[in-house]
Amino acid sequence: MKSFSNQLKEYLAALPQKQPCCREAYERGLRGEVFAERCARDPGCFLRGAFVGHGTISDPDAAYRLSFQARPEFLEIVAAALADSGIRARRTVRRGKDVLYFKDSGAIEDFLALVGASKYSLQLMEKKVMKELRENANRLRNAETANIDRTVRAAAEQCEAIRLLRETGKFALLPPSRLDFQSRMK
């Protein structure tokens, strides 16, 4: 079975490039060539090529991470293209290689929509919502379980206190208002 990243790359690689400027921008991104101009018709085509040639994305069921690994000068151009689109990426060196990445699911959704993978952007949103629903359900269940445990523990302590009072003969010494409780317990 293909990884989420490979499925996305195949989908993006199969998208038609509308005009010669789009094809050129896509090809330059794919080859990792420095390309200062932007395609006016489709601003995402350069980033689409850059991702297909140099990018990876983690499976959203596991984590949110999209990254590019390439030469520093190419990553500068990719970072600038992302910033022009309102997406901020971080830079790091991993295993001696320059990496441009972002972990924010919203930024990844925006990137996917920008490069023409709206279907994958919607899948990511759906998975994020499902994950949040599961987390909230678990949190509520854990809180309810803790409340029940506290109630049971308190009731057990009260029953033990009543048992000790009866065994020591002190239960009959309780004030009458407390003895009404005894008659209701029988």
pLDDT digits (tens, 9 = 90+) for 116-159: 999 999 988 998 898 889 889 999 999 999 999 999 999 999 99
Around Cβ 124, how many Cβ atoms within 10 Å?
21
pLDDT at 182 over 70: no
Of 35-44, 56-65, 83-92, 93-102, the poorest mean pLDDT is in: 35-44
Direct distance between the N- and C-terminal alpha carbons of the chain, in angstroms, rounded to an integer: 66
Contact 68, 55 (CB under 8 A): yes
Residues 84-113: what's their mean pLDDT?
93
pLDDT at 181: 55
Q: Are 4 and 60 spatial neighbours (Cβ–Cβ below 8 Å)?
A: yes
Residue 34: predicted pLDDT: 77
DSSP string covering 42-106, please?
-TTHHHHHHHHHHEEE--TTT---EEEES-HHHHHHHHHHHHHTT---EEEEETTEEEEEE--HH
This prediction has a pTM of: 0.71
Q: What is the pLDDT of residues 23-72, one digit of tens each?
A: 888 888 888 887 766 666 777 889 999 999 999 999 888 889 999 999 99
The answer, yes or no, to whether residue 165 has pLDDT greater than 80, is yes
| HSE-CB of 118 using CA atoms within 13 angstroms | 1
Q: Is the Cβ–Cβ distance between 74 and 86 less than 8 Å? A: no
What's at 20, amino acid-wise?
Answer: P
Using the structure block, give the residue that is written with the tokens 């896509």.
26
Neighbouring CB atoms inside 10 A of 142's CB total 10
Note the pLDDT of residue 21.
81
